[in-house]
Chain A
Amino acid sequence: MRRKFSVLIAFVLAATFILGALAMPGLAAAEFKDYGPVVDEIIMPIIKESTALRIAFERGETVVWPGLTQPADIDQAKSLDYADMRMTLGFHMFYLCFNMRKAPYDAPVIRQAMAHITDRDNIIRTLFKGYMLPMTSFVPQASAFYKEDLPTYPFNLARAAEILDEAGYVLDETGRNRIDPKTGKPLPEMKIFTPTYEVAPTSAELGKMIADSAQKVGLPVVPEPMDFNIMLDKIDIHDFDMYVLAWSLSRNPTHLVNFFHSNQDVEAGYNNPGIRDPKLDRVLDLLDTAPELQTARVAADEAQLILAREMPYIPLYSRPYIDAFRKDMVTGYIDMMGYGAASNSNQWTFLNVSRVDESGNPVPGGTIRWALEEEPKNLNPATASSAYEWNVLDRLFDGLYAMHPESLEDMTWMAKDWDVDTWTTDAGSEGTTITWYLHDGLKWSDGMPFTAEDIKFTIDFLKENKVPRYLPNTEDIAKVEVIDELTVKVYFDTVSYWHLYNAALSFLPKHIWDDVEDYNSFEPWLEPHPTMEGFTKLVGHGPFMLKEYRPGEFVRLVKNPNYWRLGPAN
């Protein structure tokens, strides 16, 4: 309860900050129905050009202008009477990274001083007109694993100078540089790599602002804008002092293992700062292999505490999701923490969204137009990898579990329950088992029953074919056992609570995919369905079905009459 309250406080503070910038009324907690969809059809015109997307929104050719990031676009949307601005915390993190493999960045005091000279509020106000959230944690605030009460290093130039002096980094006779106590020589030039002004003007300017601030306390920091790809190459081979970049994180804290475990401190690994802390490694190992949720929470808390002290990164800001909806055309969209109201991961919006009449009252049925910002291109669920493709596919497939839009806690969904347990593998070690208990009456969109056999078929298919996208999910799976038509047990070779999510995939209909010889070249959205006229072999179990896809033009989805959740649960 305390954690939830803290997250709520953090959310309210963050929302207050950005709502001030947006000058919007406060957000009320969203009421959502866990069934639907309300509309009969979604036409998704593909509009890639940002100016055209804005015009399409204003012309009413799309009910949503999603993912607003540019202050000019946000201001424009705000000025429209019919635009309803929605904002939710995101999983984005913009940060400054130190190369802890080399001096002086291996000294904690240097990193702490750099944190003290970083004025997040000024950066956000100056560069983003307030449309960003200051960030001080290594796990996004929207995550249920976010830990509050961590040590922070607020903007304070005097404090930065003071801790440097105390650690022996005293000013030289010019008063513009500090002496490294280990070498007795002035500190070398400290470079911050940033993308160029042409590619990312705000990132480049941000580097300059931090450098200007650091120079005030005698740290010889200079910004060095460079080609983005060259910058990434240099980061890969650890040829840098500091750099600024962004990550898109998720609700689970497993990114901490990738980013900060010493086994990732290799060329092209993801431990870019090169932090090697045995205690942190132990905690991250525990986080990675936690058998149940509580252990994972404890490990995530401990890891965040160590990282807050060690400061391999300075988290700078997080970009919230800001979406504009045509409130004169639709209602019922749901704000979802971490994902936004209009993202493909937000299944609740697509179940609840409805048209409105002239008085703004919901009108069931009918068609809405929802722009796609990019071509979906590949609608093969085994190989589709981009968010643009899943913008469509997520409407066609449902999950075994769902995420609550506010708490982001797991909810039962197609699975009415599940067990996480352990077993002894053939090699005698301990492994995790996940048992899924399916709802009765689940169907594919072509009317065939969705059963435990489909789950086993999918996992076996992906594993046997070594489908790259799903190898991280399937590599630790030892076997799948169908207990009965509605119960399936997945056995993992290793112990980890996160296997729960590895076993919950987008499942493939066995009656369609059984004959597929080459999954790479199979284009289910182009092949006619053997029995359903006017539809294709792209068969799912989500609220919508693919009716038509004209590459470069639009995607047309219609309500799935066989959807298992057309009405409230019994």
Chain B
Amino acid sequence: MGFRSYLVKRIWYALLVLVVILTFNFVLFRVMPGDPEKMIIDPNFTVEAKQELRRQYGLDEPILKQYTNYMTSLLKFDMGLSFNTRRPVWSELKERLPNTLILFLATFVSTAAVGISLGVFSAANRGRFNEKFVVGAGLFAHAVPGFFIQLLLLLLLGYYWPILPIHGTMSAPPPDGGFAVLLDRLWHLILPAGSNMILGFGSWALYTRNTMLEALSQDYVTTARAKGLPKGDIMYHHALRSVLPPIVTLVFMSLPGAVSGAVITESIFSWHGVGRYLLDATLQMDYPAAQGAFYLIALSVIISNLLADIAYGLVDPRIRVGAGGPK
């Protein structure tokens, strides 16, 4: 099977998964206990007002019609009006998307940089205290509930030693001038992105360490050592380079987790993003809003997985040729 066939197959799978997720998404909110109409319909509304609201939100349609409306609308990125705010869901998501992407990017870059560096560092210090410390700290940070560490940091750096902002993406009001605004944004990123980095660096570090240790035991590394190459050269030019492909794949595989983790981080640090929006919408049984946010997250997860599959296919031909061997 060639790479193109492999790619087409993965894309079909991705679309199929998307349809299943969206269908599940539609059904889930309708089988959940509770009546979402109560969120939009004031108890004191007249019968006429209740009917008007049901009509506006399409809740007076048969369930199958609601489903087809839902699916066709999502294809056009028309996610309807939020029950809660009466505003178009896509407008609300668009407002939040840049903030989520900024937080995600900052988290991702810092976590990958710190995790990979510490992984290489601990592999180079195998058996020493440094390695044990990195492994222990990584496992600890990974095992402790994320919200706990984040609340702890909020208290430590926002209250007992109040040096960092505790909410939002900017000062209120923000400073004047482009550079000052940039600095202000970065200042507000430190706690949320930093805490995410603390929570996430462990898995990167351990994965890098393990693959590095495997690479360091290979013959070509022994050869490099025998040639008398400096230790740094061996680590970075020989061993690390050989483990980069699986790490690149890990990059894509970690995207879904980072996206879903945004829900908690954005809530704790009052970060105006898609994750917080999803949480609010779910708690308030705001169908269109929650479905819109789920749609975005499902899309990002599916695209991440697709990219991971493609990356796998590119770096490891065995994946794309299947069990039958090359044809």
Contacts and interface: CB of A to CB of B under 8 A. Distances in A.
A56 B167 contact: yes
B324 interface: no
B168 interface: yes
Nearest to A228: B34
A238 interface: no
A523 B166 contact: no
A520 B86 contact: yes
Contacts of A377: 84-85, 87, 92
B170 A553 contact: yes
A21 interface: no
A56 B172 CA distance: 12
Nearest to B159: A55
B217 interface: no
Given A377-B92, A378-B85, A471-B45, A59 B162 contact: yes
B151 interface: yes
B96 interface: yes
A552 B88 CA distance: 17
Nearest to A555: B172
Contacts of A59: 158-159, 162, 166
Contact of B87 (A56, A466, A523): A523
B87 A229 contact: no
Interface stretch (B46-54, B224-232, B299-307): B46-54
Nearest to B276: A48
B155 A43 contact: no
A45 B166 CA distance: 11
A475 B46 contact: yes
Contact of A378 (B48, B86, B158, B169): B86
A530 interface: no
A380 B46 contact: no
Main secondary structure of the interface of B (DSSP, over half): loop
B283 to A, nearest CB: 11
A43 B48 contact: no
B272 A553 contact: yes
Contact of B173 (A43, A258, A385): A43
Nearest to A227: B33
A46 B280 CA distance: 15
Interface string A487-523: 0000000000000000000000000000000001101
A372 to B, nearest CB: 10
Given A49-B267, A475-B48, A552 B85 contact: no
Given A52-B167, A55-B158, A552 B45 contact: no
Interface in B261-276: 267-273, 276
B214 interface: no
Interface string A366-400: 00010000010110100111100100000000000
A481 B52 CA distance: 27
A51 interface: yes
B44 interface: yes
Given A258-B44, A520-B81, A47 B170 contact: no
A369 B172 CA distance: 9
Given A378-B86, A472-B49, A520-B86, A55 B168 contact: no
Nearest to A45: B172
A49 B276 CA distance: 11
B38 interface: yes
B168 A552 contact: yes
A343 B99 CA distance: 30
B56 interface: yes
B154 interface: yes
Interface in A251-298: 258, 268, 270
Given A45-B167, A49-B268, A229-B34, A55 B154 contact: yes
A230 interface: yes
B306 to A, nearest CB: 30
A58 B159 contact: yes
Contacts of B33: 227, 229-230, 233
Contacts of B35: 229, 232-233, 236, 268
A58 B159 CA distance: 8
A392 to B, nearest CB: 13
Nearest to B32: A229
Contacts of A47: 167-168, 270
Given A228-B34, A380-B86, A552-B99, 17 more contacts: A46-B168, A47-B270, A48-B270, A48-B276, A49-B269, A49-B270, A55-B154, A55-B162, A59-B159, A59-B166, A232-B34, A375-B272, A389-B85, A466-B52, A468-B53, A471-B52, A475-B48
17 contacts: A45-B168, A51-B151, A52-B158, A55-B159, A55-B166, A59-B162, A59-B166, A228-B34, A232-B35, A233-B34, A378-B85, A385-B86, A468-B45, A471-B48, A472-B44, A552-B270, A554-B172
Question: What 7 pairs between A and B have smallest CB-CB spacing?
Answer: A552-B272, A229-B34, A554-B172, A471-B49, A229-B33, A378-B85, A383-B86
Interface of B: 32-35, 38, 41-46, 48-50, 52-53, 56, 81, 84-88, 92, 95-96, 99, 151, 154-155, 158-159, 162, 166-170, 172-174, 267-273, 276, 285
